[in-house]
Structure 1
Amino acid sequence: MEIGKKVRKERLKSNLKQYQLAKKANISNTYLSDIETGRTIPSLKTLKKLAEVLAVDCSIFLE
């Protein structure tokens, strides 16, 4: 599964809207959308921020 699909899956599990996760992770909504749709690959720093907000281990996105 792609990183973006995993991010989206975890976001939905957390009952967060895209804009909510983006705000909490201090990234733009457009950037998060691009990650989730596979248009861009996030940096490890961004993945760590997303994992922190979603309360999951960062490695979950890389498996």
Structure 2
Amino acid sequence: MSEDLVHNRIAVLRADRKVSRRQLADALGVHYQTVGYLERGEYSPSLVLALRIARFFDVPVESVFSLEDFPPLS
């Protein structure tokens, strides 16, 4: 199952932009717990949701989601 894991940087982007889970969820039209599930890797987003998240942060979708672990930012 680990090969199906989608890694993401949602929490990093939220912290950088000072956006709460609830604020992001409201902007995306999803329940705030969904954002937590996404951040913890417990839920893989649909393509539409992934694109909406990337658009919210104004970054390419590949900057938010990856099939491989992201390298450290520092």
TM-score tier after normalising by the smaller chain length = 0.7 to 0.9
Q: Which has the larger radius of gyration?
A: 2
Which one has the bigger strand percentage?
A: 2
Looking at structure 1, the residues matched to 15 and 59 of structure 2 have their Cα atoms a distance apart, in angstroms, of 13
* TM-score, structure 2 as length reference: 0.72
Name the CA distance, whole Å, in 2 between partners of 1:44 and 1:12.
23
Gaps of 5+ in 2: 1-5, 69-74
CA RMSD of aligned residues (A): 1.7
Listed as ranges, the gaps of 5+ residues in structure 1 are none
Q: Where do 4+ consecutive residues of structure 1 move more than 6 Å?
A: none
Bigger helix fraction: 1
| 1:2 equivalenced with 2:7 (yes/no) | yes
1:23 alignment partner in structure 2? 26
